[in-house]
Chains A and B, each alone.
Chain A
């Protein structure tokens, strides 16, 4: 190509393209928002809230896995520590309003996340996954042994209470819209993070860590920040879940849960914004539908099969494959 190029024109084209992408993003977000606003009139709100909580959990996990390239196998610890903290506080201190309980749960998960990150961040690949798993197992045993969690029985009858002391959350619709607002805020936050100046560095670290180091970046610090944000959002998901179901149980702390969030993210499409949301919706639905029918004893093998199929044939997950398809066929 010998024709002269004008850098200013190219730059203009890039900014223009960015604008088009931003507009597209806005449109997709708008459509989704409308769907979510209308959903509780068509479907059971508690079921929808379950999906939203798991979707937030997966979005949080994906920030670390999909966008930073760190596979944590211990995210259940954050979901559970958020849930237990919120549950304990709301059950035992009647003066607390619901949002305070949720904030405290999130804060606990954030601190736990910082501790995990400091202990694991220097390890690479499988070793990183193993360290996070081991730490999460420690947390699991702590919850099993502790009195306040109710051990194997779990923590029941957590009061939903009133939001800001004003809005009665016992009402499922009120509760749903509260969860929806939190979910949307977190989703937009992650969207912002990924496209922010910081997000660019995360991308760079994921794609070529030694190069990022040689450009003067202290990559451990960037990873720790991503880990802590991810843990905080996972804790928030757990806190809300315990309020929605008025229950916090060992299921949330079990390593199965750490595996499930990996499954959701992979099936939906890792490294895409919408992927974990779609993945969580998909997995929660399959589990629910199967548990109602004659295949109820086959939930795990079927999910396992889906996992294998995804990894072998649809690497980019539902959303990733769809994006590829659209790029190919619609330009």
Chain B
């Protein structure tokens, strides 16, 4: 049964000193899907992400990747298995150039990352692949720009390219459009669509129009538990989903701004 799912969680629970942030969550991510995790602020979406990538240790439950139990693995090992995440707040290496950012990701597989005696010029052979990846997100001309000088939307694009450099089987995107203007949002939607070819994607997203455009399947979390699951039509028609969203702030569009407060909580 479980082979058809790339990633599965079984009765996943995370408690913080008595507060149950994630309560008995059973996720099933199908091969090749773009799967969205939505829900109002504080629903535990980012916590689930942190559990899946072991940035937090689950209190109980199991995580299975292609049927294999990966619950005891550490973050770095999970990344090397091909489950690579992005972060809510753009995660780049600010004082490296765009090209160097991507090269760091390529070095994982290249295998010389402990070679402290080798010349830095030995990394030039990775540059070609770096340029390809930069081009694929429209950043080729910024290859030699220090990342801190890039505009926010470009940083996010760079982050996505860096993540893709890992050749992930399963891409975990934590609010890829957070804090963006509408043009940037459209660009990111296109990028994610492109990136998802031949891959499976699980994304946390507040922007419901993004979710409706992109996602094959949607899981709604509320108060740490799964409220419902299905495609966009099913989920958006569910009165309980409307209720939890109305209860928080009415519309998904505005929810993306309110997400900032959740960042703080989840980052801890």
Contacts and interface: CB of A to CB of B under 8 A. Distances in A.
A218 B74 CA distance: 9
Contact of B84 (A10, A15, A214, A217): A214
Best-surrounded residue of A193, A199, A200 (most CB of chain B within 10 A): A200
A291 interface: no
B117 A212 contact: no
A330 interface: no
A196 to B, nearest CB: 5
B114 A225 contact: yes
B260 interface: no
A5 B122 CA distance: 25
Interface stretch (B9-17, B85-93, B243-251): B85-93
B107 interface: yes
Contacts of A289: none
A215 B119 contact: no
Contact of A15 (B80, B124, B135): B124
B28 interface: no
A270 to B, nearest CB: 13
B76 A197 contact: no
B91 A201 contact: no
B132 A225 contact: no
Contact of B116 (A5, A15, A192, A207): A192
B143 A10 contact: yes
Contacts of A219: 76
A197 B107 contact: yes
A243 to B, nearest CB: 27
A215 B162 contact: yes
A294 interface: no
A200 B100 contact: yes
Interface string A189-219: 0001101111111011001101111111111
Contacts, number: 134
B121 interface: yes
A207 B120 contact: no
A216 B166 contact: yes
B171 to A, nearest CB: 12
B95 interface: yes
A217 B76 contact: yes
B76 A213 contact: yes
Contacts of B20: none
A214 B80 CA distance: 9
Nearest to B79: A216
A193 B79 contact: no
Contacts of B162: 215
B140 A195 contact: no
B17 to A, nearest CB: 21
Contacts of B55: 210, 213
A117 to B, nearest CB: 15
B186 interface: no
A201 B135 CA distance: 23
A265 B140 CA distance: 37
Given A199-B120, A216-B84, 7 more contacts: A18-B124, A196-B119, A197-B112, A198-B116, A207-B96, A214-B75, A216-B108
